[in-house]
Amino acid sequence: MAEPVQTIRTVFDAETIGRRVRELGEELGAYYTSGDLLLLGALKGGFIFLGDLVRQIPREHQIDFLVAASYGRSRTSSGQVQILYDPATPLTGRHVVLVEDIIDSGTTLNSLVGLLAARDPASLEICALLHKRNAQLVLEPRFVGFDAPDEFLVGYGLDYAEQFRHLPFVGSLKME
C-alpha cells in the first residue's frame, strides 16, 4: 500500500507572520508597562513563535517552558492532556503570558489555564499565534496573531507527527 501524498497550501507566508509577530511584541510591551513579566512557552509547537516574539517585546521579561500533549501522531485531539514538563519557575505575583502556537479544540489550553491559575499569578493572559475560534475556552486569549481556518496547519513550529516544524510559513496540510 502506497503512502498518502501530502500537499501543503500556504495560509500565512513568512513575511506576514514576521510583521504580525512584531506587532504582538509591541502590544505586549504596551500592555505590560510594569511588574514581573514571565512568558511561558508551550512546547513543542510554540518554540519558533516564542523565540521570535521575545525579541520584539521592548521591556525586560523572563521565559520558561511547559510541555503538554493531546495529539500524539493524530490530526485530531485525543481529549486527554498530559503534562510532560511542568515549569519550576514560581508564578506567584507575576504577570504570566502563556504563549501558544495554535488554539484548536481548546482541550489543552483549558487544562493549562486551570493549572497555571492555581499558582496565584498577578495576572494570566494568553498569546496565540493562531486561533481557530471553534473552542469553548475558560479564558479567551488577549493577544492573537491570526484567525486561522479550520484546517490542519503545519509549519512555523506546528507539526504533523513531528514533521514540517521547519517550514518558514504556516500551511494547510492535505493528505491525498
Catalytic residues: 104
Give the pairing of strands 143-147 and 153-154. Answer: unpaired
The angle subtended at Cα 17 by Cα 156 and Cα 157, nearest 5°, is: 10
Q: Where are the alpha helices (DSSP H) in the chain?
A: 14-31, 47-54, 107-117
C-alpha distances in Å from residue 84, one per residue of 74, 112, 124, 152: 18, 12, 21, 23
Report how far Cα 87 is from the mean position of its chain's Cα atoms. Answer: 16
Query: 3-state DSSP call for residue 150?
Result: coil
N- to C-terminal Cα separation, the chain: 13
Number of H helices, E strands in the chain: 3, 9
The dihedrals phi and psi of 107, each to the nearest 5 degrees, come to -60, -50
